[in-house]
Chains A and B, each alone.
Chain A
Amino acid sequence: MASANRGISGSSSGTDGAWANRYRDRWSWDKVTYGSHSVDCYPGGCLWRVFSKDGKVVREEQAGIATPVEAGIPDMNPMGCQKGACWSHCLYSQDRVTQPLKRVGERGEGKFEPVSWDDALTDIADAILDAIEEQGPEAVLTLLTPEVGAMPARLLATSLGLPTTDGNAEFQDFSPGWHLTWGLFNPTASMDDWFLAELTLIWHANPVYTNIQWYHYLAEARYNGGEVVTVAPDYSPSAIHADYHVPVRIGTDAALALAMCKVIIDAELYQKQFVQEQTDLPLLVRRDDGRFLRECDVSEGGRDDQFFWWDALSGSLTAAPRNTLATMGVDPALDGIYTATLKDGKTVEVEPVFARLRRRLEDYTPERAAEICRINPENIRTLARKVATRKTKIFIGWNSGKYYHGDLMERAMALLLGLTGNWGKKGTGTRSWAVMGMDGTSFMHRKQGPGQAEAQKLISGMIAMRQLVSAGDPTMTPEMIQNRVAEQAVELGGLGNTFPPAFLWYHQFGYKERWDDPENNDPSMKRSFSEYLEEAVEKGWWDPSYSKRYEQVTPQVLFESGGNLLRRQRGGQKLLLEHLWPKLKMIVSCDYRITTTGLYSDYILPAAQHYEKLGSSMPSVHHLNYVLCDRATEPAGDSLPDIEIGLRLVEKFEERARKRGLKEFTDSKGNVRNLENLTARLTFDGALRDEEKRFDESVRDNAVYGILPKGTTLETLREKGQVRFTNWGMAGHGISQASTLRPDEVHNPLRWHTEDKIPYDTLVRRAQYYIDHEWFLEAGEELPMHKEPPNHGGAKRRFQMTSGHNRWSIHSMNMTNNIILNTHRGEPFVFVNDADATELGIENGEQVRLVNNDGDCLIAAKISPSCRPGQVILYNGFEPYMHENWYSQADLEAGHVKHLGMVGNYGHLKYRVFSWQPIPADRAVRVDIERVR
């Protein structure tokens, strides 16, 4: 055995040998740059240092230089997760693509040959031109994914007016219940505000997986005296550090929330003034037809959007002001039955929404809800009292909206918060994703020339446009003005001719049959799905340029950049390969890695990886920083930055159009698109052709648009790495925050409403729980309620499948990184409850087949008592080609849209980009597990 040791007996510390120098050398570098990973991960926004040596990136490490925003709140350091910590590994990994590839075998076969950029782009441009000439630009599909890699498609789409699918349906991170209630896209507090919650309900979220760099604020809120409750059907990874876990039965969350509401109302714990002022609960509803009492009911020529209170003080019908939330000396009654005289002299009984809500809540006593949710009724009472007496935040992700009746769940949660006054102040509200502050990039193509004076001119133009829209109506709020402008001019946000894709899917992707299958439909539907859709289209609720156009137009070109459609699309590859693929004459995948969609494409265009190009991370309300992602090294092989690919594609398109003598075409909205000097217009005669100049311009413009501090440039960003936003800007979702950014405070949305009493952009100009649209009344959903998830996949299937973003990858992007693969099982897996597994004779790690009416997939079983009996959990993001035979999770998902999502003629239920529209459901589908070996 050993004797002496060097540390003690030697002259030095023992680390002076050659072996030690090898380690020292491994840690050294010759260049440091700021980096980030501009991906759709929300979190996102992590600032890293990227270390390079001899022209290659060797590693990265979180910068850790964030300074605290508000005194007494922990700082945000060190932001970054395990994916980020091995991002550099992707630069040189085997799934990286560094040459343009042309398919030479069958689609999906994986036979490609390298070609030149010129040959690839010529072929692609010709296919796009053919499509435009043969059927019109609608035959070219670009898909809105938010990754920076989407830039090539977006640039092309923007400059040509090509249609782009709306991301809210495409990747389905929409919370319809928030929109129904507030008329806003995801009002979201900054993550440092989580620290201030006295009670956090982690609900439809799994931040332990999905908010790795920010989860600490939840742990720290708990250490600060707050309580954390996790509501989830399984003993979720995000339950392990909670004070309480509420194991709610799958899909019954609305019943739980409504039972809490009942407890709060019965015990008179609700915040009466908040309810009277901020919500529609005091508005009067006619007892004869269930519709709001409107001014046009009571007086000739009256408005159809003027609603009424019953003033308990004066005992009279009183118009609820349209220009303020303040009650103006009125005491709007919450209960009682009153009489209103209609314009024809007849009378009608009316009652406040609140009174109807009381009756609705009779169905949700804690005992009744306990049966529905399979939880103890005392737990419901305990939780309700906590919510009513503390600053409460519902920490929610993008899970609820993916349930067929997720809108009902979210409306019920919003009701819980509204009754208890839990929004518009610190430590309260909800959470979801929201982006902001991309004006510099978004508006670039609308400027008339380079330079910040042009940005200033653009602002003047936009302000004039807003004045035009609001002219004559002094009651219009900033939210209303912005949203009306967005409804009229969808291009304002730089998102091109964006449209809700449900109609395209229905007509061209093969969903019609599935959506009309009675087994899949909700029992409250009185007619087939098709009949609802036809009514919505016939009545003109949706622009015919997409809602009718795809009855005839056959998709001919699919340009997928920065996305992976064959993994993502709910309803699965099988449906797409059978219905869509045969119609397509050209499929392009533009990415830095070979995806399943890439393998099924005709061309793969190699994009530069994040460290090989210039950009900023996804600007998010969560962190409020503009984060530089600098170019640390040159693009590998023949790969190119996204902006360069986009510009080359436009150049090639222009050249090939000229060659065929095509000078213009008319797009689906009737706009004539001039193809001459396309590139010159995009680049301002070449002034902004260069990636660096273009990026610098967008940063400088951002300072002009007011979202970055004056004087911010690429150069100053290279010194600081990141800079905090100063304001929301004019595009994007900033306005949805309905709150002014404060430089030294955490951000809380909705303060314009709670503090300044500015009306909401909903039909009734208040947080709206009562939707008196005929379809909602027919479905019984005028108020929040609980409905069981429909039996997608087959009523007799034994298990319900839930899902969520995984821990190991942002979608499929990092899933094939072999460092990451080594941190889990290195293959796709599904969680199965241990007792269920025993009963079925399944061993841990065994390959099984998940199967239902819509499809199947082969996958390894992972057995755990944390998974609820009767549940299987398949976290999404496994690359389809990781599964034997490549069918994956999406092949089990029905991809239904709820028929109520097609309402388009009601107040705030009207389409604009990234807003209200039909969205697909994929949660709680029914599956069976079959043994295969």
Chain B
Amino acid sequence: MNPGSRRQLAWVFDLNKCIGCQTCSVACKVLWNDKEEGADHQWWMTVNTQPGRGTPRDWETMGGGYPGNDGIQLGKLPTPEEFGGGWDFNYDEVLRGGHGRSVHLEKTSGSKSWGMNWDEDEGGGEFPNAYYFYLPRMCNHCTRPACLEACPSDALFKREEDGLVLRDEDACQGNEQCARACPYKKIYFNKARKVSQHCIGCFPRIEKGVAPACVRQCPGRAAFIGFLDDEAGYVSKLVRKWKVALPLHPEMGTEPNVYYVPPLAPAPLREDGGFDENAQRIPMAYLESLFGGSVRGALDVLRSELDRKRRGLDSELMDLLILYRWQDALGHLDRDPAEITWS
């Protein structure tokens, strides 16, 4: 079935502002699963360099979702090695062990050859026309969540008031069907607690009127949140009015609710080193493989609105993306958390 919600919260990430700093990832980690047992390797929010193998490694090849818009597909279950990371280090041995230079700081747990951001800043192409951009990823809180359908324990649900896809961790049996079904591979397994875990949409913050940590703590001012049906909101304007924010891998059929303003990138260089003003540095085919065919139109709109500004004309779209007032990115969730007192 395709569980509906009355309203749907959606995220927008502007990839022309995202600088891959991982503040969203770290903010999420520190808030939700820094001290949690069994969650060392969990990063509900991650930022990867594209093109790249990402996290878990080669996740785009693992299947899941509703490919071809047919029935659900249970894809590959990512292994701990493919997620990588979750490292602890031999601090005591190096700092207090009395071994001098014969030891150095090394990983004592987790994969030695992959992590959540292993291929950072590597990218593709060939110098001088190399290319890459940063792609923040989290649970897409899909309108058609394959994880929910796949769960045999009925632990997953879609919240009526905002469409968050959440997991009753007390009901979760940890059989990881959800992780197989999720085409974005953003579901982790907690070995210590024997439950699956994923982004909770910062629901404790949302219910207090505070934006999720990934959005509120984004120093690049690249993250927006709001209800899709709130026509005055920035998210709705970017997604529905201007159609410059697109979902990732729409072909996977889960109707994700995280949207991306696609990357422009600098003009490439011709063979003789001259600027090739009209060419695309990031191959269009690659962008289409990520964001579908609409990406071409979205980039055209972005370029023509940029051009308007350069000619001294107004542009509502550019003004939205400039985000003169930061709180506007937070939509109705613009409360300062420090105002809250816990009883």
B298 at the interface (CB under 8 A from A): no
Minimum CB–CB distance from A803 to chain B (whole Å) comes to 15
A109 — nearest CB in chain B belongs to which residue? B100
B105 within 8 A of A: yes
Judge whether A824 and B117 touch: CB under 8 Å.
yes
Chain A residues numbered 209-249 whose CB sits less than 8 Å from any CB in chain B: 212-213, 215-216, 219-220, 222-225, 227, 230, 235, 237, 239-245, 247
Q: Please report which residues of chain A, range 72-90, place their CB below 8 angstroms from some CB of chain B when the two chains form the complex.
A: 72-75, 77-82, 85-86, 88-89
Q: Interface segment, A10-18, A170-178, A180-188, A334-342? A: A10-18
Instruction: Look across to chain B and name the residue whose beta carbon is closest to the beta carbon of A111.
Output: B98
- Check if A745 is an interface residue, CB within 8 A of chain B: no
Once the chains are docked, how many angstroms separate the CA of A24 from the CA of B200?
Answer: 11
Of chain B, the residue at the smallest CB distance from A370 is B273
A49 touching B32 in the complex, CB below 8 Å, given contacts A14-B157, A15-B166, A822-B85:
no
Closest to B317 in A: A223
Q: In the complex the two chains form, is B32's CB within 8 Å of A26's CB?
A: yes
B127 pairs with A866, CB closer than 8 A = yes
Min distance, Cβ B126 to any Cβ of chain A, angstroms: 5
A374 to B272, CA, bound (A): 10
* Closest residue of B by beta carbon distance from A378: B274
Does B204 lie at the interface of the complex (its beta carbon under 8 Å from any beta carbon of A)? yes
* Per-position 1/0 for A901-930, Cβ under 8 A of B: 000000000000000000000000000000
B242 at the interface (CB under 8 A from A): no
Given the complex, which residues of B lie within 8 Å of A224, measured CB to CB?
A: 309, 318, 322
Taking a contact as CB atoms under 8 Å apart, the answer to whether B337 and A823 are in contact is no
* B70 touches A (CB below 8 Å): no
Verify B105–A882 contact, CB threshold 8 A: yes
Contact: A866 with B32, CB < 8 Å?
no
Q: Kindly state the separation between the CA atoms of A863 and B126 in the bound complex, as whole angstroms.
A: 12
Q: Please state if B152 and A86 are interface contacts (CB–CB under 8 Å).
A: no
Name the B residues within 8 Å of A239 (CB-CB). 266
- Look across to chain A and name the residue whose beta carbon is closest to the beta carbon of B88: A818
Query: In the complex the two chains form, what is the Cα distance from A285 to B158 in whole Å?
Result: 79
Contact B130 A865 (CB under 8 A): yes
Give bound CA distance, A882 to B95, whole Å.
11
Q: Is the CB of A74 within 8 A of B323?
A: yes
Q: Which of B206-224 contact A (CB under 8 A)?
A: 207, 213, 216-222
> Are the CB atoms of A2 and B154 closer together than 8 Å?
yes
A782 within 8 A of B: no
Q: Which residues of A contact B131 (CB under 8 A)?
A: 235, 240
Assess whether A225 is in contact with B221, with CB atoms less than 8 Å apart: no
Q: Chain B residues with Cβ under 8 A from A879's Cβ?
A: 105
Tell me the nearest residue of chain A to B172, going by C-beta. Answer: A19
Chain A residues, CB < 8 A from B205: 27
- For residue B106, which residues in chain A have a CB less than 8 angstroms away from its CB? 827
- Given A108-B101, A222-B306, A822-B86, do A240 and B170 touch, yes or no (CB 8 Å)? no
From known contacts A816-B91, A818-B88, infer whether A85 and B23 are also in contact, taking CB-CB under 8 Å.
yes
User: Is A245 within 8 A of B266, CB to CB?
Assistant: yes
Which of A30, A244, A865 lies at the interface centre, i.e. has the most chain B CB atoms within 10 A of its CB? A865
B101 and A886 contact, CB distance less than 8 A: yes
Residues of B within 8 A of A6 (CB): 154, 157, 168
Chain B residues, CB < 8 A from A883: 104
B-contacting residues, A342-392, CB 8 Å: 370, 374-376, 378-379, 382
Whole-angstrom CA separation of A105 from B97 in the bound complex: 11
Q: Do A26 and B152 touch across chains, with their CB atoms under 8 A apart?
A: no
Given contacts A77-B326, A247-B128, contact A8 B89 (CB under 8 A): no
| Cβ contacts under 8 Å, B128 to chain A | 235, 245, 247, 868
Scoring A4, A5, A95, A244 by chain B CB atoms within 10 A of each residue's CB, the highest score goes to: A5
Q: From residue A455, how far is it (CB to closest CB) to chain B in Å?
A: 33
Contact A823 B25 (CB under 8 A): yes
Contact between A223 and B318 (Cβ–Cβ < 8 Å)?
yes
Query: Bound state CA distance, A376 and B89, in angstroms?
Result: 48
Tell whether B301 is near chain A: CB-to-CB under 8 Å: no
Q: Does A3 make an interface contact (CB < 8 A)?
A: yes
Say yes or no: B118 contacts A244, CB within 8 Å.
no
Asked if A672 is an interface residue, CB under 8 A from chain B, the answer is no
Flag whether A608 is at the interface (Cβ < 8 A): no
Q: Which residues of B from 1 to 55 have beta carbons under 8 Å from A?
A: 1, 3-5, 16-17, 19-23, 25-27, 29-32, 34, 43
B266 touching A81 by the CB < 8 A rule?
Answer: no
Residues in A with CB closer than 8 Å to B125 are: 865
- Interface positions of B from 115 to 170, Cβ below 8 Å from A: 115-118, 120-128, 130-134, 148-154, 156-161, 166-170
28 A-B residue pairings within 8 Å (CB atoms):
A2-B148, A2-B149, A7-B160, A13-B160, A28-B342, A74-B326, A78-B219, A82-B21, A85-B30, A212-B19, A212-B21, A216-B222, A219-B16, A220-B221, A224-B322, A225-B306, A235-B130, A235-B131, A237-B121, A247-B269, A376-B275, A816-B89, A818-B89, A819-B30, A824-B117, A865-B122, A866-B122, A869-B127
